[in-house]
Amino acid sequence: MNSSKQRFGQVSGMVFAALVYLFLYLPIVVVIVFSFNASRMNIEFTGFTLAWYGIMFQNASLMSAFQNTVIVAVASTAFSTLIGTIAAIGMYRYTFKGKGTVDSLLYIPIVIPEIVMGISLLAFFSLLHITTGLLTLIIAHVTFSMPFVLITVRSRMAGYDQAVEEAAMDLGATRLRTLRRVTLPIIAPGIMAGAMLALTLSLDDVIVSFFTCGINSVTLPIKIFSLVRTGVTPDVNALATVIVLATILVMILWHLFEKRSAKQEQAV
């Protein structure tokens, strides 16, 4: 009796998990399938073709938007990771007056509505007479991405043993060498997780980018959003498919990195 209940629980759990994954990934599968659609309209599948993957590169506005997205995402992720990591180490190590207030203020960009942040950043750039473009986009993305990196890295340092740094310095290592050879390798998984989160947020953002982009710095999400009224063509689906495949590759590399870091920690 107990074995039958246990078997029923396992089967029902697998069915529920399958339905959840189907709900999450079926829209992505539809986008991938329609990237091979011979028809220009994404209404019904009329035939198989690879032509849209060639047409995708001929769509100058689409590729320009994708290029802007990559530039902004890479730059904002780099700055967010650098600033967030330094801030996380400083917030963890040192105690100073007003630390609690600063800690609380870090959550404002996370909980504040994106439209409020977008309007406030636009007003800020207008006040300083800064023309909107790639620079303002990068600054805006760093603004809302950096707190996520800081919180992620700091959570990684929650179980960090500072005695390891003290031992390294006792053996003659300088503070900079200790940071580079001891501290950063230990918290590297947290840094990578924060960087991946910042990259994802930057690639997906629409609202803040809408308020802070210029005429010649439209990102891919905004470009696709503008095409919704006239209809999204299969070349957009083709580009989305390429992005999905690239994301899967990054996730595989990230998984291998995590396994390698776990083995190194076990060896230590």
Task: Tell me the domain boundaries of the chain.
Answer: 59-267
Alpha carbon separation from 265 to 27, 102, 159, 186, 261 (Å, rounded) = 39, 32, 13, 8, 6
Asked if 51 and 254 touch (Cβ cutoff 8 Å), the reply is no
Superfamily of domain 59-267 in CATH is: MetI-like (1.10.3720.10)
Q: For residue 230, name the pLDDT band (cuts at 50, 70, 90).
A: confident
Q: What's CA 151's distance to the chain center, in Å?
A: 14
Is a pLDDT exceeding 90 seen at residue 77? yes
Helix (H) or strand (E) holding 26, with range, is helix 2-34
Q: Residue 88, class by beta-carbon neighbours within 10 Å (0-12 exposed, 13-18 middle, 19+ buried)?
A: buried
Q: Taking the CB of residue 39, how many other CB atoms lie within 10 A of it?
A: 14
Q: Taking the CB of residue 91, how many other CB atoms lie within 10 A of it?
A: 19
Q: What's the mean pLDDT when you consider all of the chain? A: 85
Global confidence as pTM: 0.83
Q: Which residue has the higher pLDDT, 33 or 180?
A: 33
pLDDT at position 9 is 73
Q: For residue 268, name the pLDDT band (cuts at 50, 70, 90).
A: low
Give me 199's structure tokens: 């990259």
Q: Which residue has the higher pLDDT, 262 or 177?
A: 177
CA torsion through residues 171, 173, 179, 180, sign: negative
What is the share, in percent, of the chain residues with pLDDT greater than 70? 96
Is a pLDDT exceeding 70 seen at residue 264? no
Is a pLDDT exceeding 70 seen at residue 196? yes
pLDDT at position 79 is 95
pLDDT tens per residue, range 100-142:
788 888 888 888 888 999 999 999 999 999 888 899 999 999 9
**How much is the average pLDDT of 3-8?**
72
pLDDT at position 121 is 92
Q: What angle do CA 147, 210, 221 make, to 5 degrees?
A: 85
Phi/psi at 37 (5° precision)? -80, 135
